[in-house]
Amino acid sequence: MLGQFSELTMEFGHFCRRPKGGQKIAQGFSPGKTPPERIALKAPPARHAGWRCFQGDSLCVSLPRPQGLGYFLFALRAIGIHTRIVQTPTSAAFLSKTDSGRLRDLESLCNYKANMRVLIAPDKFKGSLSAQEVATAIAKAIHSVDPEISVDLFPIADGGEGTAAILAQHLGATPKLTQTVDAVGRQIEAESFVADRLAIVDMSAASGLWRLKTGELDPMRASTFGTGIQIRQLIDANIPQLLIGLGGSATSDAGLGMAAAIGYKFYTAKGDPIVPSPSRFRDIAVIEPPENQPFPESFGLSDVETRLTGPNGALHTFGPQKGFEPSAIEQLDQDLSQLVSRIETQLGTNFADVPRSGAAGGLGYGIRTFLRGELRSGFDFLAESAKLRDHVLVADLVITGEGKLDRQTLEGKGPFGVAAMARQCGKPVIAIAGRVEHAEQLAPHFTKLASLVDQDTSLEDALRDAAGVLYKRVRSLAGMFLR
């Protein structure tokens, strides 16, 4: 029945529909005016089944087809409006008059199609599920309730770990293994992705924290040299464009290790060569760039806007999780600031205060300074290059999420980017996360928030079976209205 109306106007206190080829059915109370106790809506012609009226403090929607009722109730649930179903000769749903203003979020969902289309665009649940696995679990849950719903799986990344694989999936790049070293110099194989004129690298593939056990952290020696080896091989292959995901690093060397791998040389004031690392920041006096070395067009992709130095810079913000003693961070930050000044004198650039320069332990700064590249929001780059907006525009509902939603989500994380785009396109958007914190700050940006962890599910239970708990949570959200 919902698909038989061509025009939908919804404002707070104002609700009307126009059937195809017919007259306006009825009009509710005007904005700003006190609603009457009952608003009777003129029943449409017989070929346009359905009618609506306010009774007491409820809006009644009568739907002769149970499937139509299911979709309508699912739509209401999607934006957090709870309903009660009353058995009638047809079927009816009732919702509070106070919820009527929220119906504006239903424009897409209530323009019911034979096959509702849901865009599933989540980031990873870090430590438990990849973005693709999250999307697959959500789709499976939806199809268990109604296999007729069309799902569009669009896993996202925002520059953090896993960005390269997600971009490769959307852009058609294939994996390539490189012999290189990890952050503490051990021989490893690391993955990158290559297309015709494009290469994609996650810096964490070689230099990531995930490769080190707690007892192996060595932040004063940890280096991006292994990531540099990957980049060097891609440069030698004449790849014209390079994308580098900046997340999950075990390093804080400002990209100096990467620079050494692609041909830069570092010396003391006496002319002795230096293998750059945080422990040698204060000793580096001379920086010698490679001669006649062309670099590809390079983009560092990040989900944070951290600067390189200062009290909110890379070392103060991320140093403790990489093993730095708090007492050492201030002195090391001063050493790095002085090194930046020496680099500026010799190379003529200073990108320490550029947003995202502090990403991945300062590799963002290294990309700008040594690769002469640019820094971009990882989500914005993915959304633009993979044409996410086109997928949003044809969806009736958008579902996003990641392992944890909190106030940092609003600082450029992928789910916030999806929500902003969905709202711009007039689509309701649900966010599902392992945990939701600061919900009051997040709520204005999402139609509905859902958490795997609740009074019945502990964090340990959610981590132990993330896919199973996610499946059940999505099914419970949809299942009570799509039976």
State pLDDT tens for residues 14-51: 333 333 343 333 333 333 333 333 223 233 333 333 33
pLDDT of 412:
81
Question: Looking at residue 456, what is its pLDDT?
Answer: 85
Condensed to tens digits (0 to 9), the pLDDT of residues 289-345 reads: 999 889 999 999 999 999 999 999 999 999 999 999 998 999 999 999 999 999 999
193 and 254 together in one domain? yes
Band (pLDDT 50/70/90 cuts) for residue 105 is: very low
Query: Residue 17 falls within a domain, yes or no?
Result: yes
Angle at which helices 359-370 and 326-347 cross, to 10°:
10
State the Cα–Cα distance between residues 231 and 210, nearest whole angstrom.
20
Which helix (H) or strand (E) segment holds residue 264: the answer is none
* Average confidence score pLDDT of the chain: 80
Give the whole-number percent of the chain exceeding pLDDT 70: 75
Task: Classify burial at 24, counting beta carbons within 10 Å of its beta carbon; exposed 0-12, middle 13-18, buried 19 or more.
Answer: middle
Span 115-171, pLDDT tens digits: 689 999 999 998 899 999 999 999 999 999 888 899 999 999 999 889 999 999 999
Name the band, by pLDDT with cuts 50, 70 and 90, for residue 190.
very high
Identify the domain boundary among 359, 380, 401: 380
Does 109 reside within a domain? no
More confident residue, 223 or 59: 223
Q: How far is CA 337 from the centre of its chain?
A: 32
In this prediction, residue 127 carries a pLDDT of: 85
Q: 361-404 pLDDT, tens per residue?
A: 999 999 999 999 999 999 999 999 999 999 999 999 999 999 99
- What is the pLDDT confidence band of residue 196, given thresholds at 50, 70 and 90? confident
CA dihedral 364, 369, 370, 376 (to 10 degrees): 40
User: Out of 256-260, 407-411, 436-440, which region has the weakest mean confidence (pLDDT)?
Assistant: 407-411
Same domain (yes/no): 64, 205: no
On whether residue 80 sits in a domain, the answer given is yes
**Structure tokens, 335:** 């050493």
Does residue 80 have a pLDDT over 60?
Answer: no
Note the pLDDT of residue 7: 28
Please determine, for residue 68, whether its predicted confidence score (pLDDT) is greater than 70: no
Closest CA to 253 of 264, 243, 242: 264
The residue out of 364, 380, 396 marking a domain boundary is 380
Identify which has the larger pLDDT, 478 or 424: 424
Q: Let me know if residue 473 belongs to a domain.
A: yes
Token duo for residue 457: 């599910």
206 and 227 part of one domain: yes
Q: Say if residue 175 is in the same domain as residue 302.
A: yes
If one counts the domains in the chain, the total is: 3
Residue at 108 is within a domain: no
Sheet arrangement for strand 117-120: 150-153, 117-120, 397-405, 429-436, 448-451
Contact 319, 252 (CB under 8 A): yes
Residue 104 has pLDDT above 60, yes or no: no
Per the structure, the complete domain to which residue 373 belongs is given by 163-380
pLDDT of residue 356: 96
Q: DSSP letter string over 413-448?
A: -HHHHHHHHHHHTT--EEEEEEEE-SHHHHGGG-SE
Decide if 290 is inside a domain. yes
- Does pLDDT of 64 surpass 80? no
C-alpha 74/C-alpha 329 separation (Å) is 52
User: Is there a domain that residue 227 lies in?
Assistant: yes
For residues 84 and 92, what is the distance between their CA atoms, to the nearest angstrom?
9
Q: Looking at residue 74, what is its pLDDT?
A: 47
Quote the CA–CA distance of 151 and 71 in Å, as a whole number: 15
**pLDDT the model gives residue 479:** 54
Residue 472 placed within a domain: yes
Which pLDDT score, from 0 to 100, does residue 3 have?
A: 32
Q: Are 122 and 452 in contact, with CB atoms under 8 Å apart?
A: no
Same domain, 228 and 194: yes
Percentage of the chain surpassing pLDDT 90?
A: 66
Model confidence at 243: pLDDT above 70 = yes
Grade residue 483 by pLDDT with cuts at 50, 70 and 90: very low
pLDDT at 113: 42
Whether 224 and 257 have beta carbons less than 8 Å apart is answered as: yes
**Do residues 183 and 252 both lie within one domain?**
yes
Last residue of a domain, one of 380, 410, 444: 380
Q: Which of 238, 355, 245, 254 is nearest to 297 (CA)?
A: 238
Q: Are 256 and 335 in a shared domain? A: yes
Confidence (pLDDT) at 44: 33
Closest CA to 246 of 355, 125, 150, 114: 355
User: Do 87 and 230 lie in a common domain?
Assistant: no
Q: Does 256 share its domain with 132?
A: no
The answer to whether residue 103 scores a pLDDT higher than 60 is no
What's 279's domain CATH number? 3.90.1510.10
pLDDT of residue 24: 33
Which of 35-49, 184-198, 448-462 has the highest mean predicted lDDT (pLDDT)?
184-198
| pLDDT confidence band for 89 (50 / 70 / 90) | very low
State the CATH number of the domain containing residue 147.
Answer: 3.40.50.10350
Q: Is 454 found in the same domain as 313?
A: no
User: Using an 8 Å Cβ cutoff, are 41 and 138 in contact?
Assistant: no
- Looking at the fold, whether 339 and 229 belong to one and the same domain comes out as yes
267 band by pLDDT with thresholds 50, 70 and 90: very high
Residues 318, 356, single domain; the answer is yes
What per-residue confidence (pLDDT) applies to 266?
A: 98
